[in-house]
């Protein structure tokens, strides 16, 4: 059923919606004939194709979703631009009423995209900035130092592979400009109106790295570690390296700098190594929400594959929020040796019915597996430590009614949050509108960063 290429020697599953039209999709759904829609490569192509038969409909849904996202890519981008501008227009003029007043008086403040006062859509959902009161999590990150001063920022750390345009964003900061003890690497997550980001989340493609396991192909592309149009690029960028390799050699340094110009992973690695050289006693943590969470755990995964043991020794922890699955059980075993000794360093925060951490599927077809410690918060912000969040594949029919009832409860809680938890927890009209939308799509609304911020700040352990 799957087109295959067994000459390249690599094992992979490459789902390519752009390779077929409606008729090809219909033939794929009925008979498995796909004309390049799904390409399975490597010595285990036949076995993978047989597995693919089991849940062909899941791949079909992924293809349909990604085709629709591609179709509406420009409209989504334009809508996001308009919505973001309108929200900033209101906020920078004080309120909707003040905006109308300023229009009449000719005193309208026009937002300038890219300025310090221009806030993203995610920022408009939750405008809180001073979150240091989340001492519980901060204490776990670092016993004595908070994140205080921005040392430098890389607002757009890009690569040439990911969707053939600049997409991946990351910034790096340290707690002090001199003699820092903590360095933070944070990957930006899925943007609400970015079709490419959502397409990556809905992708089921994987690449099997020998000795490591299957890794989500879309996340590898997002870090600039390969291009699905040329599968050999993944093999080149994921080749295992000797942990005793000397990185001071001129040739190696030159190669790193060259790769840093086109790859998010290599650029972050070069910056991190430079910072750790400058701050001898510093350790680093990696974090991110949604797609950013996936890239956050992918970074140490690739460090381990490359044998970057000196950098791995400096890793204090990985903290992700609403992160999708990134690999299979073999990858889990490979990374546990690096992240569980002598104490766990990898923590996944999952809020209630968030759909994103439950994708891609964890089943006998796709074999995607989470690893690390799951800090699961229910809608009452009660924390439980577990290996896997409940309802791990989300779309269980038995969970539909509870999910919608919980969305109603979250809407009520959002309306009363300012009275129950204090003024700083009061949700604005845009956040409440998002919760109303959650009545139709509870799993998407639960993914909102507000839920994760409140979970960390208000959460209490289950007794």
CB atoms closer than 10 angstroms to residue 251:
7
**Contact criterion met (CB below 8 Å) for 214 and 330:** yes
Number of residues that this document lists for the chain: 463
Query: Residue 27 corresponds to which tokens in the numbers above?
Result: 């033939």
Torsion of CA 279, 313, 289, 267, to 10 degrees: 60
Rounded-to-integer distance, Cα 91 and Cα 111, Å: 9
Structure tokens at 176: 């002090």
Per-residue buried b or exposed e for 411-421, using 16+ beta carbons within 10 Å of the residue's own CB: bebbeebeeee
Q: Are strands 38-41 and 3-5 parallel, antiparallel or unpaired?
A: parallel
**Burial of 266: CB neighbours in 10 Å, binned 0-12, 13-18, 19+:** buried
Q: Considering only CA atoms, which of 282, 72, 297, 32 is closest in space to residue 174?
A: 282
What's the alpha-carbon Rg for the chain, to the nearest Å? 23
Q: Report the candidate in 300, 151, 150, 152 with the shortest Cα–Cα distance to residue 223.
A: 300
**Pairwise CA distance, residues 103 & 98, whole Å:** 8
Catalytically annotated residues:
290, 354, 447
């Amino acid at each position: 059923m799957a087109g295959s290429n067994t000459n390249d020697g690599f094992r992979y599953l490459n789902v390519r919606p752009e390779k077929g039209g409606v008729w090809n999709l219909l033939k794929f759904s009925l008979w498995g004939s796909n004309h390049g829609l799904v390409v399975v490569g490597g010595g285990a192509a036949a076995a993978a194709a047989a597995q693919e038969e089991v849940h062909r409909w899941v791949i079909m849904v992924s293809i349909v979703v990604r085709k629709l996202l591609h179709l509406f890519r420009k409209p989504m981008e334009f809508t996001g631009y308009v919505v973001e501008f309108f929200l900033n227009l209101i906020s920078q003029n004080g309120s909707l009423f003040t905006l109308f007043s300023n229009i009449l008086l000719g005193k309208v403040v026009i937002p300038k995209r890219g300025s310090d006062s221009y806030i993203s859509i995610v920022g408009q959902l939750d405008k809180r900035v001073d979150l240091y009161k989340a001492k519980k999590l901060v204490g776990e990150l670092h016993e004595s130092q908070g994140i205080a001063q921005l040392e430098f920022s890389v607002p757009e750390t890009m690569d040439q592979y990911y969707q053939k345009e600049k997409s991946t964003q990351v910034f790096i900061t340290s707690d002090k400009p001199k003699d820092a003890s903590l360095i933070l690497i944070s990957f930006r997550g899925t943007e609400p109106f970015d079709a490419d980001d959502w397409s990556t989340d809905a992708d089921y493609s994987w690449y099997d790295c020998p000795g490591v396991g299957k890794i989500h192909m879309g996340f590898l592309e997002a870090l600039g570690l390969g291009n699905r149009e040329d599968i050999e690029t993944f093999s080149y960028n994921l080749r295992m390296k000797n942990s005793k390799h000397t990185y001071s050699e001129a040739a190696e340094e030159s190669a790193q700098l060259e790769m840093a110009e086109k790859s998010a992973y290599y650029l972050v690695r070069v910056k991190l190594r430079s910072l750790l050289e400058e701050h001898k006693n510093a350790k680093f943590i990696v974090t991110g929400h949604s797609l950013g969470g996936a890239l956050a755990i992918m970074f140490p995964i690739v460090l381990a594959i490359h044998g970057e043991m000196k950098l791995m020794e400096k890793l204090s922890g990985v903290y992700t929020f609403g992160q999708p699955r990134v690999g299979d059980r073999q990858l889990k075993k490979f990374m546990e040796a690096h992240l569980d000794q002598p104490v766990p360093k990898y923590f996944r925060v999952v809020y209630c019915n968030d759909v994103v951490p439950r994708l891609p599927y964890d089943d006998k077809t796709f074999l995607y597996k989470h690893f690390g410690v799951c800090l699961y918060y229910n809608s009452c912000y009660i924390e439980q430590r577990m290996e896997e969040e409940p309802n791990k594949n989300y779309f269980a029919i038995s969970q539909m009614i509870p999910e919608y009832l919980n969305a109603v409860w979250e809407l009520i809680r959002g309306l009363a949050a300012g009275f129950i938890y204090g003024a700083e927890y009061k949700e604005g009209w845009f956040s409440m509108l998002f919760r109303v939308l959650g009545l139709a799509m509870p799993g998407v609304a639960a993914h909102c960063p507000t839920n994760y911020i409140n979970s960390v700040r208000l959460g209490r352990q289950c007794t």
